[in-house]
Amino acid sequence: MSDARLVTLGRRFRKIYKHYSHIAADEDLDRAAEMLDRVERQIVNTRAETLAGLRVKIGVALFCWTHERQRIEDVIEQAGTTDERIALSILRDLIDDSRLLPKAA
């Protein structure tokens, strides 16, 4: 079993996000949104076969929720309900990869 496709898609997602995160031009932002949307749909529609693939999906979700700047602990704390806090903490625990999460300030 291999999740090479998911790993590649996850890298592509982060690369696009990082490249376009500092651009203010509307046309560039629209292009970035379209590119991210395409990659996101591929990630969602590709079933994870291994823990590595699942971690890619979790990493993309947490990356989006934290906007690459906010610590996941802060996102968990700001979540509105207990079920949201628990779900986010489970995702954090599953990924357990400090390379993918924003660094503490």
Domain assignment present for residue 76? The answer is yes
- pLDDT digits 0-9 by tens, 53-85: 988 898 888 877 776 667 778 888 888 899 988
Measured CA to CA, the distance from residue 105 to residue 28 in angstroms comes to 30
Total number of domains in the chain: 1
Residue 88 burial class via C-beta count within 10 angstroms: exposed 0-12, middle 13-18, buried 19 and up? buried
- Domain enclosing residue 44, as ranges: 4-95
Asked whether residue 101 is domain-assigned, the answer is no
In a domain, 88, yes or no: yes
Reported as a single tens digit per residue, the pLDDT across 32-43 is: 888 989 999 999
DSSP 38: H
Residue 77 domain flag: yes
Q: Model's pTM, two decimal places?
A: 0.70
Would you say residue 102 lies in a domain? no
Residue 105 lies in a domain: no
Decide: residue 79, CB within 10 A, 0-12 exposed, 13-18 middle, 19+ buried.
middle
Confidence of residue 52 (pLDDT cuts 50, 70, 90): confident
